Amino acid sequence: MDVRAPKGTADMLPDTARAWEHLTRTAQELFARYGYEPVYTPLFEHTEVFARGIGEATDIVSKEMYTFADRAGRSLTLRPEGTASVVRAALEHTLVPQGSLAKLYYAGPMFRYERPQKGRMRQFWQIGLEALGAAEPGVDAEVIAALWRFFETVGIPADNMRLLLNSMGDDVCRPGYRATVAAYIGEHAEALCAECNRRLDTNPLRAFDCKNPACAQVMAGAPLLRDELCEPCATHYAEVKARLDALGIPYVEEPKLVRGLDYYTRTVFEVQADAGLGSQNAIGGGGRYDGLMEMFGGKPTPGLGFALGFERTLLAMEAAGATVPSPPRADVYVARVDESVAAVVFDVASALRDAGIAAELDHQARSLKAQFKQADRLGARAVVVVGPDEAAAGEATLRDMSTKEERRVALATVVDALRALLG
Ligand code: HAM
């Protein structure tokens, strides 16, 4: 048996798992301040949720989905992202009845069959947030602020990040613009790669994102949607920028930012960080998707959100020297002099744990010296030593690891004595 995890996946060992828990806890606290509530959707959905939601012509749907037939022959897909699932759930449970607002966040693994490299995995972890029901530009600024503040809160300095901002227009102005870009691509067909030519009919705007230098050169001269936004889209975009200015959140307008999912309308954004990351430098991104709920068969419902990638955020945090709080693994170590007192030691450790104190004990018949070493390693601030004599007297020795002071206490008062010692 090959004991290595499948290509593009990684075990989250304790240090990384602790970082994940730190980030999800930060999200919980921060996003609650913005009025967001948690939601958990299934890890797999009917394939059409993603195929229609994200768009058949996108890279995600056309080549990156983990799609399988279940035993009844239904086509299911491991979620490549969370937005389509959240919108599907909002529709199923009527989370956004007319005139109301649903503010939701989520965290968990996503799956895309991509070529693995630094910061790009096949199973990766996202924290995401969605606001459904509000069309006003204020909510765009709120969502972007929540993302920016999240990164700042976990220790990525603003100087290490770049917030790119653009507007993708809407049903009124984008179709005409799409045709203009398609025509432009048609005129430069020979200079563009096969992929950009292939997408001419289905997804011409993706050419802005092509990594091929020749394509980038051609697209540098392409007409920009920014110059062709309809009046309502232009006003919306201007108001989002004004709100961000007022919040003091720095952004860079990037008229070529198109993002890889088809559901976007109006505001799109991406946060990039260079330090610690290679070419996969987008640590988070999102945008508006005012047509998605309707596409799923619901009433027209505006929405927007973002998702941030855990692996890339952690790389950016490490590059910035940000640390993950790591509490001592045990406040108290309960040591035994020999095996005859194993049951007493077990009872003391259990009583401490029941009282809310992190306590550890030996389960491997280690020497007393080895137990003290272990106590040090775990960061214990006190050690309770129980030997046959102490046990017979109904007592234990309590050692304060910082002052090295020792005293005898009655077993019945060990919990109180340690509460006092630990403060
Ligand atoms: P996305 O840009 O595809 O957007 O992904 C969001 C973030 O997930 C990226 O910025 C990146 O940090 C991380 N990410 C994506 N793919 C990978 C991968 N293969 N390996 C590691 N990290 C990755 C979405 O998923 C949208 N659902 C965001 C959104 C929410 N838009 C509106 N609401």
Of 54, 81, 154, 292, best ligand 1 pocket probe by most atoms within 8 Å of the beta carbon: 81
Does the C-beta of 309 come closer than 6 Å to ligand 1? yes
The reply to whether ligand 1 has any atom less than 6 angstroms from the CB of 80 is no
> What per-residue confidence (pLDDT) applies to 203?
85
Examine residue 128 and state whether it is found in any structural domain, yes or no. yes
Domain contains 183: no
What pLDDT is recorded for position 154? 98
Map residue 295 onto helix, strand or coil. Answer: helix
In a domain, 203, yes or no: no
Cα angle 92, 95, 99; round to 5: 130
Q: How many helices (H) and strands (E) does the chain have?
A: 15, 16
Q: What is the mean pLDDT of residues 264-271?
A: 97
Mean pLDDT to the nearest integer, 187-197: 89
Pair (122, 237) in one structural domain: yes
Would 356 be classed as within a structural domain?
yes
Say if 65 falls within a structural domain. yes
Q: Answer yes or no: are the C-beta atoms of 218 and 188 closer than 8 Å.
A: yes
Q: Check whether residue 315 and residue 346 sit in a common domain.
A: no
Mean pLDDT throughout 36-44?
A: 98
Residue 349 and residue 304 in one domain? no
Residue-wise pLDDT tens digits, 362-402: 999 999 999 999 999 999 999 999 999 999 999 999 999 99
Helix (H, G, I), strand (E, B) or coil at 47: helix
| 395 shares a domain with 350 | yes
pLDDT in tens, 140-168: 999 999 999 999 999 999 999 999 999 99
Measured in Å, residue 285 CA sits from the centre of ligand 1 at: 6
For residues 144 and 278, membership in a common domain is answered with yes
Mean pLDDT of all residues belonging to the chain = 95
Residues 237 and 378 in one domain: no
Residues 372 and 288 in one domain: no
**pLDDT band at residue 327 using 50, 70 and 90 as cut-offs:** confident
Write the CATH number for 400. 3.40.50.800
283 & 336 share domain: no
Task: Check residue 201 and give its pLDDT.
Answer: 83
Domain count, the chain: 2
Residue 287, ligand 1, Cβ within 6 A: yes
Is the pLDDT assigned to residue 260 strictly greater than 90?
Answer: no
Short-list 283, 332, 290, CA closest to 309? 283
Using one digit for the tens of pLDDT, what is the confidence trace for 278-301? 889 999 999 999 999 999 999 999
Of the residues 273, 295, 320, the one at which a domain ends = 320
pLDDT score recorded for residue 250? 97
**Whole-model pTM over 0.85:** yes
* pLDDT (0 to 100) of residue 200: 83
Q: Is the CB of 114 under 6 A from ligand 1?
A: yes
Domain harbouring 89, CATH code: 3.30.930.10
Separation of CA 129 and ligand 1 centre (Å): 12
From 320, 349, 380, give the residue that closes a domain: 320
Question: Which residues, in sequence order, are CB contacts of 406 under 8 Å at separation 6+?
Answer: 397, 398, 399, 400
- Per the CB < 8 A criterion, the answer to whether 211 and 119 are in contact is no
Print the domain residue range for 395: 332-422
d(CA 29, CA 26): 5
